[in-house]
Amino acid sequence: MPVKVIIPTPLRQFAGKHESVSLEAGTVGDALTALTSQFSDLKKHLYSDDGRLRSFVNVYVNDEDIRYLQREKTAVQQGDTISIVPSIAGGAKA
Amino acid sequence: MATRLTQLTPAAAAEPALSKQEVLRYSRHLIMPEVGMDGQLKLKKSRVLMVGCGGLGAPLGLYLAAAGVGRLGIVDFDTVDFTNLQRQVTFGTSDVGRKKLEAARERLANLNPEIQIDAFETRLTSENALDILRDYDIVVDGTDNFPTRYLVNDACVLLGKPNVYGSIFRFEGQASIFGHPGGPCYRCLYPEPPPPGLVPSCAEGGVLGVLPGIIGCIQAMETIKLIIGKGDSLVGRLLLFDAMGMRFRELKLRKNPECPVCGEHPTVTKLIDYAEFCGIRGEEAPTQIAAAIPEITPKQLKQRFDRGDDIYILDVREPHEYQICNLNGHLIPLGELPKRVSELDSSREIVAHCRSGKRSGEAVEFLLKAGFRKISNLKGGILAWSDEVDPSVPKY
């Protein structure tokens, strides 16, 4: 199933500057694996060393947070949009 | 004849009224049934605290003052900088060098002398936050760093006050309302901050000046709607704005029952050390790395040039920065260095530079690991070159 994955601005530099990428996937986990296989630099920004999604990055299927669905096992269908939403604060140097 | 009130004392706050001048000032509110006298009086009685008077705070303060929020508190310890004027429209060129609070107070009082403006020239900390926030009904977060955002969030949840949130990055923005009783808080959305250095700041990443204008206005709008009790608020909704595509999207925000601050069994019951929480420990970490990297100061480099030494300048900035100013260096943006390292001759002496010395420090670290020996970092970058050697080089 082709699904659209929206790449947020802070991460576009690690994803070939794409705003969104279309990927074949049956679950959110599959989509993120396909994404990080295509763009290996993205991996460390999305996943910590122990393979878990970083907690300052949220993933949504359409408008629902996957933490309240089945997390990475959440099924996706054609036409679904996966959004990656990292925390941003603007302004001062971190 | 309505009594005119300039000070909101506890007794008077119970029964404010509008003077003839105020009725005329707010007439465009009053003639709308959604606001009317009721709504305007609610605005007059309301007490809103703005944390931060910068990019987001500028339009926010202006519109809250214009709308007649009776008591507006502002927390900001910063000074107006020349580079702020690209987006912080409360200030003018003549305000550069002044304290933001002073300049903001003047501007807002001129816009609307009817309101009370409380100025807090201080950094918001775990020691003072609860005291400062206590007297206000609504807090609007216009801050520019993660530790303060978590501090504001936690303080609002502990005090039971809604936190009208907005944030921006380059040309994307987010807005929501956290800490509304029954609704999610910031930690429900982001339990942990990103490690320092992972998410660039405005100074590093840039920002379209008008973007915080739009998000700040959205924050003002949500604050006003909360006060007058009308419309659908952003509680439980994360509004995402993409300026380039000119698209708004919305995601559902749920209250996390296990949230450490606002959940059913909170573990955070008082304010913590937020700098530690966000992993920032003063300047220790960066200088440890810097100490290991060979450096050359701009003056030293100039001396080498004047002597006729053969130095290869490696510029690791982006092409658009090279166009602003450059030292005639060979441009390989930092992100491309691993792929293009073969363009460099390790037998030559190489000095790497960027804007301020940070990216080039990373480049030198990388090249040292790749086996380069005659490599050093230009301390302070092209900014320092402009300051110490050649003032004709523009700073940015």
Region B270-293 average pLDDT = 64
Query: In this structure, what DSSP letter does residue B311 have?
Result: E
Phi and psi of B138, rounded to 5°? -135, 140
Give the integer Cα–Cα distance in Å for B240 and A85: 9
Confidence label for B8 from pLDDT (cuts 50, 70 and 90): very low
**CA-based nearest residue to B146, from B199, B222, B188:** B199
Domain contains A60: yes
pLDDT of A17: 86
Candidates B156, B202, B278, B325; catalytic one: B202
CA distance B290 to B282: 14
B199 confidence band (pLDDT: 50, 70, 90)? low
In a domain, A91, yes or no: no
Rounded to the nearest 10 degrees, how much is the dihedral formed by the CA atoms of A68, A72, A74, A76?
A: 130
Check residue B16 and give its pLDDT: 80
Considering Cα of B308, then B314, then B315, then B318, what sign does the dihedral take? positive
Q: What is the CATH number of the domain that holds A66?
A: 3.10.20.30
Inter-chain contact A90–B238, Cβ cutoff 8 Å?
A: no
Chain A residues 31-50 with CB within 8 Å of chain B: 45
Hey, what domains does chain B have and what are their CATH numbers? Answer: 46-277 (3.40.50.720), 286-388 (3.40.250.10)
The continuous run of DSSP H or E covering A83 comes out as strand A81-86
Q: Would you state the pLDDT for residue B288? A: 42
Q: Who's near A4: CB < 8 A, 6+ residues apart?
A: A20, A21, A22, A80, A81, A82
Residue B26 has pLDDT above 90, yes or no: yes
In a domain, A92, yes or no: no
| Closest CB to A89 among B149, B245, B256 | B149
Structure tokens at B348: 């030559």
Helix ranges (H only) for chain B are 10-14, 20-25, 27-30, 36-45, 57-67, 100-111, 129-134, 146-159, 186-189, 202-205, 210-228, 274-277, 284-292, 298-307, 319-324, 337-340, 358-369, 381-388
Give yes or no: B53 in active site. no
The pLDDT tens digits of the residues spanning B295-339 come to: 999 999 999 999 999 999 999 999 989 999 999 999 999 888 888
Q: What is the pLDDT of residues B115-137, one digit of tens each?
A: 999 999 999 999 999 999 999 99
The rounded distance, in Å, linking the Cα atoms of B215 and B132 is: 24
- Report which of B259, B267, B270, B268 is spatially closest to residue B182, judged by C-alpha positions: B259
A17 occurs within a structural domain: yes
| Domains contained in chain A, number | 1
Which residues of chain B are within 8 Å of residue A55 when distances are taken between CB atoms? 190-192
Other Cβ atoms within 10 Å of B381 Cβ, number: 24
**What was the ipTM of the complex prediction?**
0.87
Domain that holds residue A77: 2-86
* pLDDT attached to residue B202: 52
Q: Specify the pLDDT at position B100.
A: 96
Of the ranges B200-209, B272-281, B332-341, the best mean pLDDT one: B332-341
- The tens digit of pLDDT for each residue in B47-93 reads 999 999 999 999 999 999 999 999 999 999 999 999 999 999 999 99
Check CB contact of A65 with chain B, cutoff 8 Å.
Answer: yes
| Reported confidence tier of residue B146, pLDDT bands at 50, 70, 90 | confident
DSSP string, B211-259: HHHHHHHHHHHHHHHHHHT-S---BTEEEEEETTTTEEEEEE----TT-
Q: Can B156 be counted among the known catalytic residues?
A: no
pLDDT on residue B196: 66
The rounded distance, in Å, linking the Cα atoms of B170 and A90 is 8
d(CA B71, CA B84): 26
CA distance B319 to B333: 8
Mutate which: B252, B256, B337, vs A, most A CBs within 10 A = B252
How far apart CA A15 and CA A7 sit, in angstroms, is 8
What is the share, in percent, of chain B residues with pLDDT greater than 70?
91
**CB B334: neighbour CB atoms within 10 A?**
18
- The amino acid present at B116, given as its one-letter code, is Q
Among the ranges given (B42-56, B198-212, B237-251), the one the predictor scored with the smallest mean pLDDT? B198-212
Of B54, B146, B199, the CB nearest to A10: B199
| Mean pLDDT of the region B225-234 | 97
User: Is A93 part of any domain?
Assistant: no
Residue numbers in chain A where pLDDT is lower than 70: 89-94
CB contact under 8 A, B205 and A91: no
A–B interface: beta-carbon pairs under 8 A:
102
Q: Confirm whether A46 is domain-assigned.
A: yes
Facing residue for A91 by CB, picked from B202, B238, B250: B202
Average pLDDT over residues B23-41: 96
Distance of CA B136 to the CA centre of its chain: 21
CA atoms within 13 A on the CB side of A8: 25
| A13 domain residue, yes or no | yes
Distance from C-alpha of B309 to C-alpha of A64, rounded to nearest angstrom: 61
At B129 the pLDDT is: 96
Q: Which whole number is the average pLDDT over B265-276? A: 88
* pLDDT surpasses 50 at B281: no
CA B268 centroid distance within chain: 25
Instruction: State which of B20-34, B186-200, B362-376 shows the largest mean pLDDT.
Output: B20-34
